[in-house]
Each structure stands twice: as C-alpha cells, then as structure tokens.
Amino acid sequence: MAKPDPAKEIDDIADKLQAMIDAPKQLKRPPGSITAREYAERTGIRQGTAGDFLRRLYTEGRIQREKVGCVYYYTFAD
C-alpha cells in the first residue's frame, strides 16, 4: 500500500487556498439602489450632505437602507 505523498497534499491545500484568493469578490447591490456618493455626484452636492439627507429620509421611514460590505445603499420602499 502506497503512503500518502505529503508534497502532493501540501500542493492540493495551496491550490485550494489560491483558488479562494482568486475567486471573484462580488458584492451584490440591491436593485434600484443609490449610494450617497452616487447621489452627490448626480446632484452636485457634497457627499456628506447627500449622506445626511439620505440618512434623514431613512430615519423618517421614507426610504430603506441596506448595508452591503462597507457601503449603504438606499432604495424606495415599494
């Protein structure tokens, strides 16, 4: 009976780890959403002002907010 080849096992582990690194890191944004940055760019206002405005609408319950990764996305509650 052949003994397991430690070098092959290490290669297999290294290949699996590399596949994890190379895997696309795709975060899916909610459909029909906008970020404070995108809103600021479209309206010509500062990003902080846009963020304040969107957060206020969210706390008033007029829009929804979802965090994906480190970004908040805002959508209308339909």
pLDDT single digits (tens) 40-57: 999 999 999 999 999 999
**Beta carbons within 10 angstroms of residue 67's beta carbon:** 8
DSSP, collapsed to helix, strand or coil, labels residue 74 as: strand
pLDDT single digits (tens) 12-47: 888 888 877 766 566 688 999 999 999 999 999 999
